[in-house]
Amino acid sequence: MDIQAYIRSGIIESYILGLAGSDEVAELEMLRRQYPDIDLAITTFEIEMEEVQRNTAVLPDQVTRNRVLDRLENGDGRLQVVSASSVESRSEAGNLSGIRMLRTWKWIAAAAVILLLASSAVIISLLNTNSDLRRNNADLAVQNENLRAQQKNDQTILTRLYTTLDVVSDSNTIAIRLNGVKGNENSYATVYWNQSTRDVYLMPGAVPKPAAGKQYQLWAIVDGKPVDAGMLGECAGVCRMKNIPRAQAFAITLEPEGGSASPTLEAMLVMGGV
Amino acid sequence: MVDTTSRSEHELISLLKQRDRTAFTRLYDDYSPALFTVILAIVKDRETANDTLQEVFVKIWKQIIQYDNQKGRLFTWLINIARNAAIDVLRSRAYKDTRKNQDLSDNVYEGANNTSMNPDRIGLKKFVERLKAEHRELIELSYFQGMTQEEISTSLNVPLGTVKTRLRAALLHLRESMKG
């Protein structure tokens, strides 16, 4: 299929603007997973649209903001303050006689009740705060974890990309283009073979995603015989394969996940001579 | 899929999925103008557009759990929710109140010399205006009025295949005009 023609056809613009039919949508979503060029073209247009639409935007009424925020689902309500009126009070009039004494004691009792109520309220307020703080803390911990995971992910990708650059620009490395065999004319990949270390790296160029349970396997052709050179996994940039001392050609076949002892020749995707 | 989303946007999405209200406020402040604009361009009446924007954000709040970065950028997802809501409103209102629609588009903006307030000049409309009539009409009917290609084909009495090809050409021209 002519990928460039597909990209230039207007289907991508149609898709992003929400105008594509369901068949077209299904086809595009499948193709974008297979062809990085299509995926990139889609994202590029998305970014263009975002920029234009942000730059030409007008503002809604201020009151709308208030209304929207008020309507938010309130799933994280604050703890209800427990009513403290159930606190009992006891007069300690005991066996004291005299009205004056009784009144004093009543005052003391009343003061005690007030004090108790006040401290209950304080305790409850502290409990609320504590609970909020703990929840915030948990939230922050989650955010922190997310950020760290993201950072670690970025770091890994960055490291792999630097490796790619090193591999590709090393003067000891030769590049061998593996072209699509009959039936897979649009596929290609590149093997980078370091002639001094004999390390082999593979950069998938246009390689369709394998079906579930299947995986691509690289072979080195040595004196007419295929030698396993490793499985193609997920890699940003180049994939490190096996070390191959000698070979006259390389090929990729589609094998069951985990690989095969010898290649399934009918399932060959690409091949290239050194 | 190539991930072009910034780290802060990833973080925002993650917080939204955790129902973080501060994140939602940030989302509103950042995206509401663009969403409001597409809604206004479609419904043409400011009051309706403000009401629709509210409904859109409620919808976003409910559906953000389902948003999947693998399917596309956040902005695209949000704009499509807004556009679809606006079209629903347009089509239901049109059903009820055809005459009122026409009155509104005549007199509400007559005083607005400021082109940024005219719903015929905001957002993408600014660029659609520059296209030739044939292309402009197709985008107007499909994007701003929500007609399917079948409906357009019937309405304009043009073969469906022609509608499809012309619409795609129109969109390509639109994209070109956006770069100018």
Q: What is the mean pLDDT of each run of 10 residues along chain A (274 residues)?
A: 94 97 94 94 96 95 94 46 36 43 62 67 67 67 69 62 65 86 88 90 88 92 92 81 92 92 91 91
The confidence score (pLDDT) of residue B117 equals 65
Inter-chain touch B72–A46, beta carbons under 8 Å: yes
Contacts B117 to A, Cβ<8 Å: 58
pLDDT band at B100 (very low <50, low <70, confident <90, very high): low
The verdict on B18 touching A (C-beta cutoff 8 Å) is yes
User: In this complex, which of A8, A32, A53 lies closest to B124 when CB atoms are compared?
Assistant: A53
* CA nearest to A150 within chain B: B7
The confidence score (pLDDT) of residue B73 equals 95
Q: State the ipTM, two decimals.
A: 0.89
Contacts A135 to B, Cβ<8 Å: none
Inter-chain touch A14–B21, beta carbons under 8 Å: no
Percentage of the residues of chain B whose pLDDT score is greater than 90: 73
The verdict on B102 touching A (C-beta cutoff 8 Å) is no
Contacts B85 to A, Cβ<8 Å: none
Average pLDDT, chain B: 88
Q: With a cut of 70, say whether residue B102 has pLDDT above it.
A: no
Summarised one tens digit per residue, pLDDT across range B76-91 is: 999 999 999 999 999 8
The confidence score (pLDDT) of residue A91 equals 39
Q: Model pTM greater than 0.80?
A: no
The confidence score (pLDDT) of residue A133 equals 67
How many A-B residue pairs are in contact by the CB < 8 A criterion?
148
Contacts B116 to A, Cβ<8 Å: 58
The confidence score (pLDDT) of residue A81 equals 31
Inter-chain touch A43–B124, beta carbons under 8 Å: no
The confidence score (pLDDT) of residue A94 equals 39
Contacts A61 to B, Cβ<8 Å: 46, 50
Summarised one tens digit per residue, pLDDT across range B127-155 is: 999 999 999 999 999 999 999 999 999 99
Inter-chain touch B4–A47, beta carbons under 8 Å: yes
Which DSSP string do the residues of chain A spell out, in sequence order?
--HHHHHHTTHHHHHHTT---HHHHHHHHHHHHH-HHHHHHHHHHHHHHHHHHHHT--PPPHHHHHHHHHTS---SPPPPPPP-TT-------TT--SHHHHHHHHHHHHHHHHHHHHHHHHHHHHHHHHHHHHHHHHHHHHHHHHHHHHHHHHHHHHHHHHHHHHHHH-TTEEEEEEEE-TT-TT-EEEEEEETTT-EEEEEEEE-PPPPTTEEEEEEEEETTEEEEEEE----SS-EEEEE-S--SEEEEEEEETT--SS--GGGEEEEEE-
The confidence score (pLDDT) of residue A175 equals 86
The confidence score (pLDDT) of residue A149 equals 66
Inter-chain touch A48–B175, beta carbons under 8 Å: yes
Reduce the DSSP state of residue B159 to 3 states and report it.
coil
Inter-chain touch B18–A19, beta carbons under 8 Å: no
Summarised one tens digit per residue, pLDDT across range B50-75 is: 999 999 999 999 999 999 988 899 99
Inter-chain touch B75–A50, beta carbons under 8 Å: yes
pLDDT band at B112 (very low <50, low <70, confident <90, very high): very low
